[in-house]
Amino acid sequence: MHKSLFLCLSTVALYACVYAALPPPCDSEIFCTGPILHQVQTAKLFDDDKYFVDMKLRETPDVVLSAFRNLSNESPNNTVPPAKLQEFLSNYFEKPGTEFESWTPPDWHTEPKFLGGIADQQLRNWAAQIHNLWKSLGRKIRTGVKDHPELYSQIYTPHPVVVPGGRFRELYYWDSYWVINGLLLSEMTDTAHGMIQNFLYLVNRYGFIPNGGRIYYERRSQPPFLTLMVDSYYRATMDKEFLRGALPTLEQEYRFWMQNRSVAVTLNGAQHVLNRYHVQVGSPRPESYTDDLELAEGLTEDRKEQLWMELKAGAESGWDFTSRWYVDRDGQNNGTLGDTRTSQILPTDLNALLCLTEKTLASFHRILGDGDSAAQYDQAAARRLEAIESLLWDAERGAWFDFNLVTHSKHFEFYPSNLAPVWAQCYSGPQMGEKAVQYLKSSGALQFPNGVPTSLRESGQQWDYPNAWPPLQHMFIEGLSKLPSEDAKQLAFDLAQRWIKTNWLAYMKYEAMFEKYDVNGDGKPGGGGEYEVQLGFGWTNGVALQLLDQYGATLTSGGSRVLSGLLLPLVISATVMLQ
């Protein structure tokens, strides 16, 4: 066990933290630390740093390490030249992807019912093609991974999964929420069940859910959507026994977030507890090793470790990376990637999600007849609501904003997460939701043809302008659609139409679904960040299917058809009136 000595006197004294002997991302001396990782990654043998850490060993780690020591010993300065490194890799490693066997979900079938509710013929055909894509994204881990985990970076899970796609070859945590919602619409209940069982297995093994299914992700998590996955599954199946079996594990994950990712803040004499992303793990991320190394160049050792921790916390937030996590020297929400200080921020969306989690855990206990436990979670949700309204709600601006733990002030930039409490229905007065709609209208975020951007700042990072992301569109639209006013509901439909149009246009052009899109252009994939835009794509497909289900009667495939879609009901009612 690695010793972690991490002294923070209090949240106010975050600057006074001492970084010493932080644990590495995982204990593997090949995939997470050590000279092989360092030399292979810095030699830049592959376009993407994730390639090497996804390779499989042909020999045991001891043999591979010994062979590399021998090779280093005979190299000048112990630095193995690139050609020799290549040779070493082909002798001792297999290319990524060998740990999976092809697997077609047995519960896939043509013509799930929801397709029948999509009025536009072109959109209905397209939805059938998206439904078809589940077959190409299904993966089953070979039993070899279970029998010889030391040869793989892949984490074994007992059931097959639907993966995002592209470089994301393995399961991912928060992506799976939208994948599972899509699978349930596709009537692939067994596949959804297996994916949830995998997550329960991971909680039992690690005490929380790793970011994704690789050992280099095993010391950080991602936005905690497991309870909501179980909620979706329960609503689709009404399977109480499943709920009863899962609940203790859901509570274990909830305890992890409360024990390991919470902060007490005193404001105006009252103490509140809210959550943040926080990963006390050192070293560069193995899968983005050279990016992290280069970004930290010139810093002191302590500052390097601090930056690498904060980058991992950014990865844990799911928003990797974004100007949202920048905190510059003046404590302003400004700067560059090197100013990433994720753990200094109490995020609106994480706290809204945990509020909804608490309410959902209360409802599960009520369903199973345990009123006392239900009351405890209701109290936790009530305490969080009070904290959210004290620290994050801004009455003047009419929305919720991230809270900076160092300056004790809010960050007022626009992010879709500023409306996360609307999605979670975690606010106390009905007027707050409507105020948030007014805030939104004056924010400048609604002026783009293809959806709501991740911020209004073009930082070059992928979770910023001009990119729009499926999970954020979905939460945003769902939140607005739940508000009582017609105005908010119309806005929700409008945004659904914009999103479907851009997904559809890009599909027509590229015959592919992308992980993210540009808010401008005619069906343009997103860009920026550490890697090329990826195809597949799990959560994009899930969100498209959900919107096509929810608004299937009125959505159109775009262009002038949007107009005809809006005019058609008028024409019909005019015709009816004339008769």
Residues in contact with ligand NAG, counted by CB under 6 A, come to a total of 16
Nearer residue to ligand NAG within complex by CB, 203 or 352: 203
Q: Which of 208, 216, 423, 517 binds ligand NAG (CB under 6 A)?
A: 208
Q: Is the peptide bond between 225 and the residue preceding it cis, with omega within 30 degrees of 0?
A: no
Distance from C-alpha of 374 to C-alpha of 358, rounded to nearest angstrom: 9
| By the rule CB under 6 A, 77 interacts with ligand NAG | yes
Least separation in angstroms between CB 74 and ligand NAG:
10
Our CB check for ligand NAG shows the closer of 67 and 128 to be: 67
Closest to ligand NAG by CB, 203 or 374: 203
Q: Which of residues 328-387 bind ligand NAG (CB under 6 A)?
A: 332, 334-336
Distance from C-alpha of 333 to C-alpha of 339, rounded to nearest angstrom? 9
Minimum CB distance to ligand NAG, residue 307 (Å): 16
If you write DSSP's letter for every residue of 340-373 in order, what string do you get? B-GGGEE-HHHHHHHHHHHHHHHHHHHHTT-HHH
Burial of residue 408 (CB within 10 Å: 0-12, 13-18, 19+) is: middle
Cβ closest to ligand NAG, residue 336 vs residue 438:
336
Which is nearer to ligand NAG, 278 or 516 (by Cβ)? 278
- Which one, of 113, 101, 198, 188, lies nearest residue 141 by Cα? 101
Report in angstroms how near the CB of residue 219 gets to ligand NAG at its nearest. 8
Q: One of 287, 291, 515, 549 is an active-site residue; which one?
A: 515
Half-sphere exposure of 440 (CA within 13 A, CB side): 26
Binding residue for ligand NAG (CB under 6 A) from 60, 90, 132, 259? 259
In the region spanning residues 33 to 72, those forming contacts with ligand NAG, defined by CB under 6 A, are 63, 66-67, 70
Tell which one of 260, 373, 390, 554 touches ligand NAG (CB under 6 A).
Answer: 260
Neighbours of 86 (CB within 10 A): 14
Task: Please give the Cα distance from 266 to 443 (Å, whole number).
Answer: 30
| SS3 (DSSP) at 16 | helix
Q: Which residues of 171-191 are buried (b: 16+ CB within 10 A; e: fewer)?
A: bbbbbbbbbbbbbbbbbbeeb
* Least distance between ligand NAG and beta carbon 351 (Å): 19
**Shortest CB 322 distance to ligand NAG, Å:** 15
172 three-class SS: strand
Could you say which of 320, 358, 478, 549 is catalytic?
A: 320
CB of 221 to ligand NAG, least distance (A): 9
Q: Annotated catalytic, 494?
A: no
Nearer to ligand NAG, 204 or 564 (CB): 204
Find the binder of ligand NAG among 1, 3, 76, 271 (CB under 6 A).
Answer: 76
Q: Does 102 bind ligand NAG (CB under 6 A)?
A: no
256 binds ligand NAG (CB under 6 A): yes
Amino acid occupying residue 469: W
Q: Is 320 a catalytic site residue? A: yes
Residue that the structure tokens 């009582």 belong to: 484
Contacts of 307 by beta carbon, 8 Å cutoff, 6+ apart: 292, 295, 296, 299, 338, 340
Cis? peptide before 416, omega within 30° of 0: no
Binding site residues, ligand NAG, CB under 6 A: 63, 66-67, 70, 76-77, 79, 207-208, 256, 259-260, 332, 334-336
Looking at the annotation, which residues are catalytic?
Answer: 320, 515
